[in-house]
Amino acid sequence: MDRLTSFGNDPFDKPPCRGCSSYLVEPYIKCAECGPSPFLLCLQCFTRGYEYKKHQSDHKYEIMTSDFPILEPGWTAQEEMALLEAVMDCGFGNWQDVAYQMRTKTKEECESHYMKNFINNPLFSSTLLSLRQMEEARTADSAIPFKPADDPPRPSFDSQLSRDMAGYMPARADFMEEFDNYAEWDLKDIDFVDDDSDILHALKVAVVDIYHSRLKERQRRKKIIRDHGLINLRKFQILERRYPKEVQDLYDAMRRFARVVGPVEHDKFIESHARAKVYDRVKRVREDERSKRNMLCEVLQYIHDDRACQQWLHKQAAIDAGITPVVTTITTSGRRSAPPLNLTGLPGTEKLNEREKELCQVVRLVPGAYLEYKQALLNECKRQGGLRLAQARSLIKIDVNKTRKIYDFLIKEGYINKA
C-alpha cells in the first residue's frame, strides 16, 4: 500500500468515483491492478467492497493523498502546490495576496518557506543552472549561431550595414518594414455591425481569415531568417566562404530546402551529401586499387612455381602501367599449355562482353558454341530454379574442366545460381 500524490487538490481535476459517481476528495483509493485507465473509488465505496467488471475487492490498491510533508514538516504536498500556484497567480513578492489565496499560512510563513526551499535551496539552484546550460548548449549548436547581446550588431540608421541587415532593429528584434507590409490596409475600414446581412458578414470574416494567413506567412519568413542567421548577412557569407568550393556549390543548390527544416538539420543534410561524394570518390579509388590486385588469388596456388610467378608479375606490371595485359594462362611447370584462342573474325564474337571474350580465349572455346552452352544452362536454371555442376555437365557434352570453368563463370557473373 503506497502513498502517492494526486493530480491536484481540485476534485474537478480528477475522474469521479466509479462506484457512486461523486467527486473524489482526498484521500481516495486507486486500484493498482486495473488499467490502463485509472480505477478510482471514494473511501465509502472502498469500505463497502465495491466490484465492477474486472475489478475485485481483493485487488491491490494505493491511497491517493497529498496530505504529507515533502520539503519540511508543517507543509503538506497539497500546500506546496497551492503555494506555487499562488505565486504564479499573484506574482513573486506579493506575499500578502499569496497568503490570502492559500488561507492556511501567514504572509511571513509563505515568504520564508518559498525563499528557503525554492530560491536559496542549492538543489533547485543547481537544477535550474543545469537546465540553463542544457538550453545554451542546444541553441549554440545552430548553423550560424549568434548572441542577442552583440550579434546581430546595432549599426547606425541608414548605414551600409543597416541596409545589409534589411532594416532589422536589434533593440526591438523586429524589422522597419515587414513582409507584405500593407496587409492591414485591406481590413482597416471593416466594421462588424448588427444589421449586416449574412453574406456581408461572411465576406468580412473571410477578409479577416485572409489577413491571418498573411500574418502567418510573415511570421514564417521572419522565423526562417532568425533561425538560419540571415539577419547578419555579411557574417553568414563570410562563414560560407570558409567551406570548400564543392560544399559552397552544394549550399547554393540546396538553399531552397532550408525553409523546410531547421538550421542544424539543414547543415547536417549538406554535410551528409558532401561526405557521400567524398565516400564515392574514395570508394572508386579503392575499387581501382583492388582491381589491380585481383590476380593474387589466382597465383597463390602456384606460389612455388617460378614460371607461374613470373607470368603473374609481368601481368601485374602491365596493369600498374595502365596497359591491357595479354591474356595468358598461368600453368605449373612440367605441363605445356596451349596459347589463347584468337577470336578475330569468329562468328558471335561481337555478342560477347570483354569478360566473356577472355573466358573463350582461355578455355579455347569458339563464341558460337559458348553462346549455345550459355543459353542451355540459363534455360535449365530458370526451369529448375537453380543449377548444379553435375546437371551442367550432363547438358554440355564437352571436357569436364571446360564445363566447370563455364559454370563457375556464369555463377560469378550472376547469370545463373546454384541449386
Tens-place pLDDT, residues 403-412: 888 888 988 8
Q: For the residues 111-135, what does the mean pLDDT come to? A: 70
Per the CB < 8 A criterion, the answer to whether 44 and 28 are in contact is no
Q: For the residues 39-48, what does the mean pLDDT come to? A: 86
Quick one: what percent of the chain has pLDDT higher than 70? 74
Residue 139 has pLDDT above 80, yes or no: no
pLDDT at position 325 is 61
Co-location of 261 and 204 in the same domain: no
Co-location of 255 and 199 in the same domain: no
pLDDT tens, position by position, 53-70: 888 888 888 888 777 777
Question: Domain of 217?
Answer: 160-238
Residue 176 has pLDDT above 80, yes or no: no
Pairing of strands 3-4, 61-64: parallel
Mean residue pLDDT across the chain: 76
Of 287, 305, 323, at which residue does a domain stop? Answer: 287
Backbone angles phi, psi at 418, to 5 degrees: -70, 150
CA 56 distance to own-chain centroid = 46
Amino acid at 349: T
Q: For the residues 12-37, what does the mean pLDDT come to? A: 80
C-alpha 114/C-alpha 107 separation (Å) is 11
C-alpha 315/C-alpha 309 separation (Å) is 10
What angle, rounded to 10 degrees, do the helices at 263-292 and 245-254 form?
130
Co-location of 179 and 216 in the same domain: yes
Q: Select the more confidently predicted residue: 280 or 112.
A: 112
Whichever domain contains 371, its CATH number is 1.10.10.10
Closest CA to 52 of 68, 34, 64, 74: 34
Categorize the per-residue pLDDT at 1 as very low, low, confident or very high, splitting at 50, 70 and 90.
very low
C-alpha 34/C-alpha 55 separation (Å) is 7
Categorize the per-residue pLDDT at 10 as very low, low, confident or very high, splitting at 50, 70 and 90.
low
Residue-by-residue DSSP string for 188-199: TT----TT--HH
Residue-by-residue DSSP string for 296-327: HHHHGGGTT-HHHHHHHHHHHHHHHTT-PPPP
Q: For the residues 208-222, what does the mean pLDDT come to? A: 88
Q: Select the more confidently predicted residue: 330 or 207.
A: 207
Residue 282 lies in a domain: yes
What is the phi-psi region of residue 190: left when phi exceeds 0, alpha when psi lies from -120 to 50, beta otherwise? Answer: beta
Residue 370 lies in a domain: yes
Per the CB < 8 A criterion, the answer to whether 84 and 110 are in contact is no
Instruction: Please give the C-alpha separations between residue 289 and each of 117, 293, 299, 316, 365, in angstroms, as whole numbers.
Output: 69, 7, 18, 12, 31
Residue 181 lies in a domain: yes
SS3 category, 76:
strand
CA angle 257, 240, 150 (to 5 degrees): 100
Residue 190 makes CB contacts below 8 A (sequence gap 6+) with 204, 207, 208
- The total number of structural domains that make up the chain: 3
What is the torsional sign of CA 264, 267, 272, 275? negative
Co-location of 361 and 383 in the same domain: yes
C-alpha 299/C-alpha 349 separation (Å) is 28
Residue-by-residue DSSP string for 159-210: -HHHHHTTTEETTTTEESS-TTTTGGGGGTT----TT--HHHHHHHHHHHHH
Co-location of 168 and 212 in the same domain: yes
Of 181, 206, 238, at which residue does a domain stop? Answer: 238
Co-location of 223 and 274 in the same domain: no
Residue 28 lies in a domain: no
Residue 368 lies in a domain: yes
Co-location of 231 and 248 in the same domain: no
